[in-house]
Structure 1
């Protein structure tokens, strides 16, 4: 055997410095610092100036702690929207913001007070608000850095804060628009109230949990009735809130419910719904026989007396039985006790019959000390939400039992009950004077042709004048119908909420927030409407913030025309949802950020915001502008743990995005967030993240291969499409199809499809197919050969398209890849959507290549089986024998390169019989491509006996000994040697 030459220097392996190991946690901060130093966001604004705008208005998170995985998902989705719209060539600025007022922040400051044994009520209000402001400011800076670490683009130097004086002034201005247009009223209605936080709560501040309550049956003696048999009998009510019995003022019946009169074994007679008799029997009635029955409507005019009537006064007053359409026979007794202080239905029905609330329960959940029926002295400090207060041996039940009115009491009733989202304590319905926005009052005409309310928002001329008679509810429902929702089911969700919601409760009894800046006439109870006074209030708040609304400042704010002693200065603050619901006004319209415009193209938040920010923004804008503040709404679900359970610190199943970035890098979080179906609840966990990291490695290796394969590529090497082999033209057609899918996904905000299409294309169409087939061409063909040039031309087109598609997803990696090939070309994030030729191939050709790919999968599986069994060491040691139809032979595909084998022999079906061989049928592939043609029948893989070429490693007949060259390699090496001036081998 002659000594063989080492041909490795004649093989063109991919060459790149781009590392396979990502090291994202170490690299990403440096890339982020470079973006900041080079002011990439500002350059992007400059590059897109004058283009069509796309505005995503950032829903403000609370500034009260490190970001969690829900924050990460939300901000990554927003970032993907902004970046893809910018990629399409639009001007898509992003102004991040924070919600800085409200209970979550105030509660944290109070927690610190409690640890220091300080009483918040003894601290001057300005000092307390200053601590809240400092707390919020601290967390704004922390979260700002954390969001930037996630790769979120935006104007981080100029975010919006609801606690900025100019923002507080504009929130006040928006409130005063409501006042000037008559869309405010002060009323006493039951609202959800937290005795722990001592304030009213919005529905969005409440969560529901299952609890077990005491259930009781209480007898009310009937003293008057148009039905003589009922006088002296007892109407029985059932309730799970014993604490409300001391404020009972009436009973309600269902007009169409059938009620029966029953005689108990103790001789007393009781009335309850016939349909519920079996349930009542189990609790206390004990199968008493029915005496008579009547429909509820027959009970009109019936009067009862309170079980504690002996206390006199309020308790001796008659308790009428009233018709209530809300009374059902789902549970209980079919009769409902009415406490207008503590129930919406109770309040409405009693008000209709002239019965007013008594305001018995204090802000902290305790009964007034002057109330006739009090807990015993040692229990006066007990709140009504205390289980002991409501227990069968608690003060209410004990007194009812002593009066002979407690028929049953047990602690086994499980049901869902509202709790404060912040303190986790149970809430109650409590009637207190509050400020409301009416949902069903016709809205008066308003005119905003000029800057509203003393110059705030002077940069905006809305030009709206409408003689509206529609209600806020009607206007909001129309706006919902005019809005696009992603997914569309969000329309029904928010629509049903708006359709059934009560009047908007604006007031809160707290300290940290924007004040309700109203002066109320002490004689008439009307609030003052004076544009000059309003202008002074707004100017003062703009100058000093919310501290400008003080008792000392009242005379100056009212001015010389009003006597401060004639007016009550309202000290309640605004519902924080009004703050965030007004952000469209001071962010999109105030002129502080002139690059923005209103309405926003998109609002994007979690599905819980249908009752939160989406709705408060909608109502605020509809009441002041007659339209929604957004054109479209996208909602995402909640992130669960790997088992589908809600994340909870107590369960220890939370995933911190900060920890994930420390271990894997931000691009892994981004890839996860944009891969899941975020329109529904979705999961994350250690194993899921490992899978995402594996996906990332495959994508990274795709780009690494492209960089290596395109080493020293220049445009002069490019080949026209018409001169390319069919495989290259097929791949360009697949790229065009991918491009169309990606664009459609961007327009639909469908990043799950967007990201998966990108991943699948890189893994399946490129790495496992195109790259694999053409690696022999890349490594071994001469650089000037047309096929190799065509391959690299297509790779260059692939690179420029894929790096742009990947940039909104893998923001750091895309920058690293781009800089590796074009170190002086600026940021990848300044690029626009790739320009591709709209190359399409015929359906017949497309079906041919689909079939060929499916055929290849079958062959490669069999080759791999041979390798596992050690019958061959590599696919190049294999040959394939096909028994097929003539059509199959005419495909024109270089099968050896296609299968990466050394020999493929084709036989017509009648030419040869493959006997005593493991033959593989391909009927499944024929079925998949939907054809009945007999394109092939079977194949077999065998070991080849020829020698191996020393350069391309194929086993061919012309290779005389292992290590010698095949004909193709001899020619290439000779050309290379000639070009290098070296003697031929």
Structure 2
């Protein structure tokens, strides 16, 4: 008995429609804090450690480079910490014991500077405050920002030992930093020397290269005359030098030249108005640069001539007079003749071919005269710690190189004016060039000769740890190539070249907030004397014991010298050093008090990974390498990953003044932390990363597509049970193809995460979810999932969805920490449940099926031609849905035709029917250029529309249930 087809029935309740409470709208800004609270209550980090210990997992340690505790997080902080978190989580889920101990850099000038600013605002003088009181204020300031930053980092979903981070100002850490310094003391690596160092007059301290950034600066340039004082043909002629630092002229001790250049003697034959040259003046210049120098002196062609060449041999016999020699009121300060010799750092690319030397203010000049054994003759002490000239320096005493706010001082102008007055100037101008500035005060720095403490990088360390070499430099260079893996590889080249060319490490700072250089010097001895430094293990032990109990403040307490020297030494014979250590030594020592000292550190004292921005090649990567090579003989890390800087959407550097900054807090408030994490995951971190409103909108759109993928799976998996499971061998080919793709992805995900290729992992998963699942597999299987009864096909599809669910949620969990937790809990609710306690599921190798994959590549290729043909009909409003079609597909190649006939191609193309033929295609057939050999002729599907599945089939209305097709009637029972 056939049912009537004209009667309309509502079969909606008979469908297996999706069931899920998982919302389409994420609401991340509101819901993410709830998951953070839940994880905190679960003590999830502790549970992961216990799980790893019970399973005896191999450890993986990412050692956290400490951010500075002095302000709110910026987007670079967020990028860095999110990358670290993705490393830690992915390594944990791949079977490692992935430990992460966050830390903070707490000492040093930035914090000290903030306290001084507060003092200045209140009219207080730092020097009037007892040093321990001042240090306590610095400590309190750092503590406040640590609490703020910790909450800001946790809000980004960063997992770690937040209950016990490491702080460089903890008493235990200060003790170990002092102990690490003492190793340099005891092995003979430490020495005191007087050489030019980068000096901040504003902050009154030496700076390391890592504390310097380069900005454009406008500087005075001057061309200065040094008169030849040697009797002979050249007497009275002038050797001309060029410099961008007029303030160094009072400290000039020599002039050098290049012994391979062509020099000439030039004479002025005529002068224009307003010119400092006179007719008859003779100048010795590099021939290549003479024309430019004359133009700078405002001399035109025809107003000067070359008299003859001057050989290097002739130059070598000359002595020069300083331009201020004999000046009235100079009190003989500059009357000594200047040294004049060849040097290999002179160039003839700009200037005059001669370089004026003030070895107190330039490293190349210093090294030249050091190697000649002439430092005593050429070193001056004209510049004070505040950048002023010493008070008794004739003409210039008390003048400042920089103003007290870091701008141009009055020293340069005073020097130039005096040179004009005595006839020592040939020309002057200004130049805009890249110049070193303190990254804290943002003021220019100078090179200044001052006594400092150094770690010698080329002196044998003498500790017997010679596997990688005997000096710090040798050990570092060999570690770079033999111990460390670099991501990207370019990081190796950068650090190698820096360490290969670097000078000795300046360890001392003339400040108050930090770990002091815990050493004593013999009163009256010279730094070169063998007994200048006190080296005594018992003294060292007393210092360390005090630091452990009281912190580094113990060094500054009354009676500290007597306490530490004990009864072994006469305090009157020893001086206590009060400089503090470079904060890069603090952070460079973190491997000692985190990796080696803590129970949850590294089993062998080394980190598997250091991960920071590319600027840390001259910062933390660099100082950690030097420090460890001086104490343990090699690098403290096995791997280094570097990321780029953050820029705005147009590729510009972010600046508050430009208003183009992106604050992590604002992104989290608007979108949620998962969107920020997704931005990191889909970016190429090896270059500079762009971020802004439009970019974030695109990220949010991609997130919604992923969320819809997960929501579809959750809906389709409602009420699934073990009884529904189908073995892979019993599945349809389409499901077996999905399993093949999962096996391929499993390899991609694991190798990608292992190589820290988060962009590659995310792109592979995103494309799989949106292209292969949502737009292909889900699209095809919706019909079976919704309309089939308890069929093998539907059970197979749900088995595959369950397999997909477990892999996608865990694979994406290191990136979308909040969303994947929400997805997981939607299926597995419970107080102890969390996706972050799971591992990546093992994926059977037998799922790989290359012949099947090749077949389905052909199927999908042919499907594209059909769907494109139907889209034309839909656009032209011939049909509203693909189920209204029953196209005829002409397939030229017999093998492809047979292949398509072996599958339910109509089901795959989501049509009610389809005809496959090898007949030649008519001219009007649809052709898709990229799918050669497959053409499509549109035909409408014959029959009636099934009121349950909406397919148009001839058998609708001929079954027990009214208005449905045979498949649906069977499902209705």
User: What interval of TM-score do these two structures reach, taking the shorter chain for normalisation?
Assistant: over 0.9
1:48 aligned to 52, 76, 100, which one?
52
2:840 & 2:916 partners in 1: Cα distance?
44
- The 5 A counterparts of 1:307-346 are 307-310=323-326, 311-346=330-365
Q: Does 2:36 match 1:32?
A: yes
Shift of 1:671: 0.8
Equivalent pair of 1:444/1:469 in contact (CA under 8 Å): no
Q: Does 2:862 match 1:855?
A: yes
Equivalent pair of 1:233/1:268 in contact (CA under 8 Å): yes
Instruction: Name the SS for the 2:888 alignment partner.
Output: strand
Equivalent pair of 1:443/1:468 in contact (CA under 8 Å): no
1:353 & 1:298 partners in 2: Cα distance?
24
1:889 aligned to 897, 912, 918, which one?
897
Q: Does 2:374 match 1:367?
A: no
Shift of 1:388: 5.3
Shift of 1:845: 3.0
Equivalent pair of 2:399/2:410 in contact (CA under 8 Å): no
Q: Does 2:673 match 1:666?
A: yes
| 1:167 alignment counterpart | 173
Shift of 1:945: 5.1
| 2:317 alignment counterpart | 301
2:938 & 2:123 partners in 1: Cα distance?
83
Shift of 1:286: 3.6
Q: Does 2:628 match 1:621?
A: yes
1:303 & 1:594 partners in 2: Cα distance?
63
1:874 & 1:361 partners in 2: Cα distance?
85
1:103 & 1:88 partners in 2: Cα distance?
41
Shift of 1:943: 3.9
Over residues 76-98 of structure 1, what are the superposed CA-to-partner deviations in whole Å (9 max), with x where a residue is unaligned? 11111111111011111111100
Q: Does 2:164 match 1:142?
A: no
Over residues 921-961 of structure 1, what are the superposed CA-to-partner deviations in whole Å (9 max), with x where a residue is unaligned? 345235xxxxxxxxx33113344453211000011122259
2:427 & 2:561 partners in 1: Cα distance?
56
Instruction: Call closer, same or farther: CA 1:231–1:378 in 2, change over 3 Å.
Output: closer
| 1:760 alignment counterpart | 767
Instruction: Call closer, same or farther: CA 1:380–1:921 in 2, change over 3 Å.
Output: closer
| 1:931 alignment counterpart | none
Shift of 1:294: 2.6
Instruction: Name the SS for the 2:263 alignment partner.
Output: strand
Over residues 242-300 of structure 1, what are the superposed CA-to-partner deviations in whole Å (9 max), with x where a residue is unaligned? 11111111101111111111001321100011111221122115442111213435411
| 2:782 alignment counterpart | 775
Instruction: Call closer, same or farther: CA 1:296–1:866 in 2, change over 3 Å.
Output: farther
Q: Does 2:926 match 1:920?
A: yes
| 1:750 alignment counterpart | 757
Equivalent pair of 1:254/1:325 in contact (CA under 8 Å): yes
Q: How many residues align?
A: 936
| 2:517 alignment counterpart | 516
Instruction: Name the SS for the 1:147 alignment partner.
Output: helix
| 2:956 alignment counterpart | 959
| Stretch of structure 1 that moved more, 170-179 or 542-551 | 542-551
| 1:274 alignment counterpart | 287
1:419 & 1:494 partners in 2: Cα distance?
22
Over residues 84-142 of structure 1, what are the superposed CA-to-partner deviations in whole Å (9 max), with x where a residue is unaligned? 11101111111110000011111222222222222222222111111110110001011
1:719 & 1:901 partners in 2: Cα distance?
27
Instruction: Call closer, same or farther: CA 1:822–1:382 in 2, change over 3 Å.
Output: closer
1:73 aligned to 60, 72, 79, which one?
79
Divergent runs of 4+, >6 A: 377-381
1:260 aligned to 253, 260, 264, which one?
264
Equivalent pair of 2:202/2:406 in contact (CA under 8 Å): no
RMSD (CA atoms) = 1.9
1:17 aligned to 18, 21, 37, which one?
21
Q: Does 2:129 match 1:95?
A: no
| 2:276 alignment counterpart | none
1:55 & 1:664 partners in 2: Cα distance?
31
1:668 & 1:889 partners in 2: Cα distance?
46
| 2:273 alignment counterpart | none
Equivalent pair of 1:384/1:390 in contact (CA under 8 Å): no
Unaligned 5+ runs, structure 2: 270-278, 527-531
Shift of 1:663: 0.8
1:372 & 1:963 partners in 2: Cα distance?
113
Over residues 209-264 of structure 1, what are the superposed CA-to-partner deviations in whole Å (9 max), with x where a residue is unaligned? 12222111000101016xx3221100000011111111111101111111111001
Shift of 1:902: 1.5
| Stretch of structure 1 that moved more, 684-693 or 466-475 | 466-475
Shift of 1:594: 5.6
- The 5 A counterparts of 1:613-652 are 613-652=620-659
- The 5 A counterparts of 1:810-849 are 810-824=816-830, 826-840=833-847, 842-849=849-856
Q: Does 2:958 match 1:939?
A: no
Instruction: Call closer, same or farther: CA 1:963–1:102 in 2, change over 3 Å.
Output: farther
Equivalent pair of 1:365/1:383 in contact (CA under 8 Å): no
| 1:405 alignment counterpart | 424
Instruction: Name the SS for the 1:105 alignment partner.
Output: helix
Over residues 152-183 of structure 1, what are the superposed CA-to-partner deviations in whole Å (9 max), with x where a residue is unaligned? 11110010000001100100000000000001
Equivalent pair of 2:99/2:600 in contact (CA under 8 Å): no
| 1:532 alignment counterpart | 538
Shift of 1:856: 2.4
Q: Does 2:688 match 1:681?
A: yes
Instruction: Name the SS for the 1:906 alignment partner.
Output: strand
Instruction: Call closer, same or farther: CA 1:211–1:591 in 2, change over 3 Å.
Output: closer
Shift of 1:524: 2.0
| Stretch of structure 1 that moved more, 116-125 or 185-194 | 116-125
2:85 & 2:467 partners in 1: Cα distance?
40
2:720 & 2:751 partners in 1: Cα distance?
32
Q: Does 2:731 match 1:709?
A: no
1:627 & 1:356 partners in 2: Cα distance?
38
Q: Does 2:220 match 1:184?
A: no
Equivalent pair of 1:442/1:470 in contact (CA under 8 Å): yes
Unaligned 5+ runs, structure 1: 447-464, 927-935, 976-985
Equivalent pair of 1:241/1:390 in contact (CA under 8 Å): no
Instruction: Call closer, same or farther: CA 1:269–1:163 in 2, change over 3 Å.
Output: same
Q: Does 2:244 match 1:236?
A: no
TM-score, scaled relative to structure 1: 0.93
Equivalent pair of 2:858/2:896 in contact (CA under 8 Å): no
2:292 & 2:962 partners in 1: Cα distance?
93
1:437 aligned to 447, 455, 470, which one?
455
| Stretch of structure 1 that moved more, 703-712 or 848-857 | 848-857
Equivalent pair of 2:821/2:834 in contact (CA under 8 Å): yes
| 2:438 alignment counterpart | 420
